[in-house]
């Protein structure tokens, strides 16, 4: 794990280290300026449909820690499964989804960590909704697994903190 830790890399009077990210075409660039709260993989059918893939990587971050440095991501608003309102930010040119802004959690953003320049720095701490995982999906041995999702979502933050404490994550 070689990514800098903004907490320890902060300079007095200077700026903290940041994890840069961008969309596919480069029209929108951003920086994540604080460590994430958690990162997990979700294999639910909504995430499969939404990404067109086998799973979605989800990274919870403070919304104030996502700083747009180039361009303007558009705001997409729609009702998801069960009529739940969803909002996400995307590049209008290349259609890359960058992060979601859940209306009921104004302080949080759900970053799509594949848009970071170094997504390898962040390994998901848990795999959710394995009940609907595609049959050929390989889950790393030792990964924390949920048939659906944890009853208390804070469990995902606790798992992340434990992994950071064990020096496995930035
Ligand atoms: Zn783009
Ligand atoms: Zn999901």
pLDDT in tens, 77-94: 988 777 888 899 999 999
Contacts of 124 (CB under 8 A, 6+ apart): 39, 40, 41, 57, 143
- At 97-113, the pLDDT tens digits run 999 999 999 999 999 99
Task: Say how many CA atoms lie within 13 Å of 59 toward its Cβ.
Answer: 24
CA 68 to ligand 2 center in whole angstroms: 25
Q: Is residue 6 part of a domain?
A: no
Residue 78 CA, ligand 1 centroid: distance in Å: 20
In a domain, 148, yes or no: yes
- What is the residue range of 114's domain? 17-165
* Number of domains comprising the chain: 1
| Residue 10: Cβ-neighbour burial (10 angstroms; 0-12, 13-18, 19+) | middle
Beta-strand ranges (E) seen in the chain are: 19-22, 29-32, 38-42, 56-62, 66-70, 74-79, 85-90, 97-100, 108-111, 126-128, 144-145
Q: Say if 7 falls within a structural domain.
A: no
Mean pLDDT of 113-128: 94
- pTM as predicted: 0.85
CB 42 within 8 A of CB 132: no
The answer to whether the CB of 60 falls within 8 A of the CB of 125 is no
Expressed in angstroms and rounded, the spacing between residue 58 Cα and the centre of ligand 1 is 20
Comparison of pLDDT for 17 and 11, the residue scoring more? 17
Residue 126 has pLDDT above 90, yes or no: yes
How many whole angstroms from 143 Cα to the centroid of ligand 1? 33
119 in a structural domain: yes
Distance 55 CA to ligand 2 centre (A): 7
HSE toward the beta carbon, residue 73, CA cutoff 13 A: 27
Per-residue HEC secondary structure of 118-160 comes to CHHHCCCCEEECHHHCCCCCCCCCCCEECCCCCCCCHHHHHHH
Distance 42 CA to ligand 2 centre (A): 4
CA 119 / ligand 2 centre spacing (Å): 19
pLDDT value at residue 16: 56
CA dihedral 16, 113, 119, 138 (to 10 degrees): 150
Is 129 domain-assigned?
yes
Which ligand is closest to the CA of 57, given by its number?
2
53 alpha carbon to ligand 2 midpoint, in Å? 11
What residues flank ion ligand 1 with Cβ within 5 A? 23, 25, 27, 91, 93-94
Residue 7 above 80 pLDDT? no
Tell me if 12 is assigned to some domain.
Answer: no
The answer to whether position 94 is within a domain reads yes
For residue 11, the CA-to-ligand 2 centroid distance in Å is: 38
CA of 148 to the centre of ligand 1 (A): 33
Per DSSP, what are the bridge partners of residue 111? 59, 99
Residue 1 lies in a domain: no
What's the CATH code of the domain at 84? 3.90.1590.10
């Amino acid at each position: 794990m070689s990514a800098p830790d903004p907490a320890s890399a902060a300079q007095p009077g200077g700026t903290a280290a940041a994890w840069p990210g961008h969309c596919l075409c480069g029209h929108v660039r951003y920086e994540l300026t604080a460590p994430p709260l958690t990162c997990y993989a979700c294999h639910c059918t909504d995430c499969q449909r939404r990404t067109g893939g086998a799973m979605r990587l989800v990274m919870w971050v403070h919304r104030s820690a996502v700083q747009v440095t180039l361009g303007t991501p558009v705001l997409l608003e729609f009702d998801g499964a069960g009529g739940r309102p969803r909002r996400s930010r995307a590049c209008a040119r290349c259609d890359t989804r960058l992060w979601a802004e859940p209306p009921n959690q104004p302080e949080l953003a759900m970053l799509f960590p594949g848009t970071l320049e170094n997504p390898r720095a962040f390994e998901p701490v848990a795999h959710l909704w394995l009940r609907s995982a595609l049959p050929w999906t390989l889950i790393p041995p030792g990964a924390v697994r949920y048939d659906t999702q944890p009853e208390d979502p804070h469990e995902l933050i606790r798992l992340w903190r434990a992994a950071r404490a064990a020096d496995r994550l930035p």
